[in-house]
Structure 1
Amino acid sequence: MYITITAQSLSGNFGQSATAFVDYLEKENEGKPMPELEHFFDQHHNEISAEEVIKEIDNNTAKLKKSEPKFYSITLNPSQGELKAIGDSPEALKQYTREAMKAYAKAFNREIDGKPVSINDIKYFAKVERQRTFKGSDKEIQENQPYATKILELKQQVRSIQRGETAGNIKKLQKAIERLEREAPHQLNGKRIVRDMPKPGPQSHIHIIVSRKDASNRYSLSPGSKYKASEVEMNGKTVKRGFDRDAFYRNAEKTFDNLFKYKRNYVESYTARKTFLKDPKLYFSMITKLPTNERAMAFKLLQKTGINTSLLSIPTNKLQLTMKAINTLKRGIGKAIESGSIGI
């Protein structure tokens, strides 16, 4: 499970309203018949309209400055292994979202009316998306790019000849284009993978828009707080503040495992991701020290993302990876983290 939290963008042409973000989340519904539409939902309701989401978020911004985000975007990105475990079920994902948002509420070191923040204090709306497309940062696009560049050059030559600007053999150029299309290393259904092409396999994930203010519109609840847990004097009173992202990520992961009896491998865990980011060498060492069956599964999961695990095929009692090998593995695993492809 790969989870992100992002503040509303207020720079450039982005406005104060949630309209643009909600419109973006509605993109998958374009052209679909009514029975196939994916609706927004919250903790207690289904089939909430985009208009209601915008109204509720925009009207829940009391005393917030123009420079402050009015909402945050949370994405819950299950790996394909996790999606397979739940049969890629939208209803299971909704159930999980509602439980994960309880963990979100508990991560706040705040009190409202003398009680810890609970899910009833959180104003959020979520939506399941079933599809992902290839982006420029994906390995498939980057490794196909030299072919894409050459194909574009050849197509420009063809158009130049067709306009009578230059002389040349169009048939020869078209054959060269066809050859490059076939030789591109990453193909899908017999076609070169390009940007915005839908990714294969289950790709379901959840987008959540959560208000900066609590449901009563009185208190600010910022998951972007730089404090995990602290207290401060305000108007003569001691006030708790802070949000523990680590606790949220760990508990959201545990929630999935407990709900669906999911057997999580080390490389899929939030603990592994933290270790990788802080100490890559320790991360690789931990993998080699896993029990035989778990280590084999870890290698299998990493190999699915295109990572060369032969670099880890060394004695488990003494890790001796060169810096070149470590950096090679870091690049591959870093991309896997960003795409959520192994859920770490």
Structure 2
Amino acid sequence: MYITITAQKLGKNYGQSSADFVQYLEKENQGLEQENMEHFFNQYGDEISAEEVVREIDGNTAKLKKKEPKFYSITVSPSKYELGKLENSSEDLKRYTRELMKDYVKCFNREINGRAITVDDIKYFAKIEHQRTFKGTDRQVRENQPYATKILQFKHDIRKIERGEANGNIERFKLKIGKLEREAPHQQNGIRIVQGMKKAGNQRHIHVIVSRKDASNSVSLSPGSKYKSSEVEMHGKKVGRGFDRDQFFERAEKTFDKTFEYKRNFAETYKARKDFVKNPNLYFAALMKLPTNEKAIAFKLMHKTGIPIIPNIPTSQAQLALRIFKRLRQGVDVAIKSSSIGI
């Protein structure tokens, strides 16, 4: 499960309206007949139009400053293993989203009129997407990049020869390009993986756009708050503040597992991923204590997500720690970007 929470982009990308972002989320509907389109939905409604989403989000921004985010984007990308547990992918993901947003509100340390926040207090709209493309930060694209650079140079050389600016054998350059295309380490259906290429297989994921203000347009609810969970005194009263992201990510996993009876491996858990970044020694110590079959699955999952692992598992935990730390110092930042959940 890969989950991110992102504030509305201000400046060049997105302005004061949600229209550009909503239009971006409509990209898969282009050219489709009405009955084949994926529509926006929320806690109680389906087939909500893009126009209504823009109108509701843009009209719910009372007292927000010009440079404050008007909405947040939550992206939920289940792994192929998690998607494999779904019987009716789109409908199941809608059902999960509605449960997930209940978890979302429970992670705010806030009250409205003296009561705990409920899902009825937020204004959100969600959409299921079926495709994903490779990004420049993906491991496959990064590791193919040296080949891409050489191919680009050879194509540049060919153009120079065609313009009469240089001498050379064009066919020889084409053969070199073909060889590099085949030798690139990451291929999809026999084609070198490049940035922007559509990913094969089941790529369904969820986009949620949630208003910064509550449904009454009077209370600010920011999941981007720097305060995890605390209290502050305002006008002589103690007021709760903050959003607990750790709790949200953990709840998201538990809700998925309970809803679809999914048996989550240690390597797929948010806690494990966080320990991998914050305390690698604890992560690998816990990994080595797993039963043999679970450990084998965990190492397989780690390999799939790009986390640096060793080819042969040493018998001594001291040896393991020493060899792993050498790899971690070089690869931890890149590896976690390819892992299963945003931190």
Q: Normalized against structure 1, the TM-score is what?
A: 0.93
Aligned counterparts of 2:176 and 2:311: Cα–Cα separation in 1:
37
- 1:320 is matched with 319
- The CA deviation at 1:31 is 2.3
- Segments of 5+ residues of structure 1 without an aligned counterpart are none
- 1:154 is matched with 154
Please say if residues 284 and 312 of structure 1, whose CA atoms lie closer than 8 Å, have aligned partners that are also in contact.
no
Q: Which moved more, 1:186-195 or 1:80-89?
A: 80-89
- 1:43 is matched with 43
- 1:284 is matched with 284
**Tell me, what secondary structure is at the counterpart of 2:251?**
helix
Alignment of 1:128-139 (within 5 A): 128-139=128-139
- The CA deviation at 1:36 is 2.1
- 2:234 is matched with 234
- 2:20 is matched with 20
Q: What do residues 3-52 of structure 1 show as CA deviations (whole Å, max 9, x unaligned)?
A: 11111122345311111211221122222232221111111111111111
Equivalent AA in structure 2 for residue 320 of structure 1: Q
Q: What do residues 50-109 of structure 1 show as CA deviations (whole Å, max 9, x unaligned)?
A: 111111111000000012111111111211110111147011111101001000011111
Equivalent AA in structure 2 for residue 244 of structure 1: D
Alignment of 1:66-81 (within 5 A): 66-81=66-81
Alignment of 1:214-293 (within 5 A): 214-293=214-293
- 1:53 is matched with 53
Please say if residues 80 and 342 of structure 1, whose CA atoms lie closer than 8 Å, have aligned partners that are also in contact.
no
Aligned counterparts of 1:329 and 1:122: Cα–Cα separation in 2:
40
Equivalent AA in structure 2 for residue 210 of structure 1: V
**Tell me, what secondary structure is at the counterpart of 1:85?**
coil
- The CA deviation at 1:141 is 1.1
Does 1:119 find its partner at 2:119?
yes
Q: Which moved more, 1:5-14 or 1:192-201?
A: 5-14
Equivalent AA in structure 2 for residue 30 of structure 1: Q
Equivalent AA in structure 1 for residue 223 of structure 2: P
Does 1:196 find its partner at 2:196?
yes
Aligned counterparts of 1:335 and 1:260: Cα–Cα separation in 2:
31
- 1:33 is matched with 33
Equivalent AA in structure 2 for residue 319 of structure 1: A
Change (3 A) 1:298 1:272: same
Aligned counterparts of 1:112 and 1:283: Cα–Cα separation in 2:
39
Aligned counterparts of 2:310 and 2:87: Cα–Cα separation in 1:
32
- 2:3 is matched with 3
Please say if residues 313 and 320 of structure 2, whose CA atoms lie closer than 8 Å, have aligned partners that are also in contact.
no
Number of equivalent positions: 343
- Segments of 5+ residues of structure 2 without an aligned counterpart are none
**Tell me, what secondary structure is at the counterpart of 1:320?**
helix
- The CA deviation at 1:309 is 4.1
Aligned counterparts of 2:160 and 2:291: Cα–Cα separation in 1:
62
- 2:65 is matched with 65
How many percent of aligned residue pairs carry the same amino acid?
61
Aligned counterparts of 1:28 and 1:94: Cα–Cα separation in 2:
17
- The CA deviation at 1:329 is 4.9
- 1:169 is matched with 169
What value does the CA root-mean-square deviation take over the aligned residues? 2.1
- The CA deviation at 1:287 is 0.5
- 2:300 is matched with 300
Please say if residues 4 and 341 of structure 2, whose CA atoms lie closer than 8 Å, have aligned partners that are also in contact.
no
Equivalent AA in structure 2 for residue 107 of structure 1: C
Please say if residues 302 and 309 of structure 1, whose CA atoms lie closer than 8 Å, have aligned partners that are also in contact.
yes
**Tell me, what secondary structure is at the counterpart of 1:302?**
helix
Change (3 A) 1:142 1:249: same
Q: Which moved more, 1:218-227 or 1:117-126?
A: 218-227
Q: Which moved more, 1:270-279 or 1:298-307?
A: 298-307
Equivalent AA in structure 1 for residue 96 of structure 2: Y
Aligned counterparts of 1:338 and 1:115: Cα–Cα separation in 2:
38
Change (3 A) 1:241 1:310: closer
**Tell me, what secondary structure is at the counterpart of 1:181?**
helix
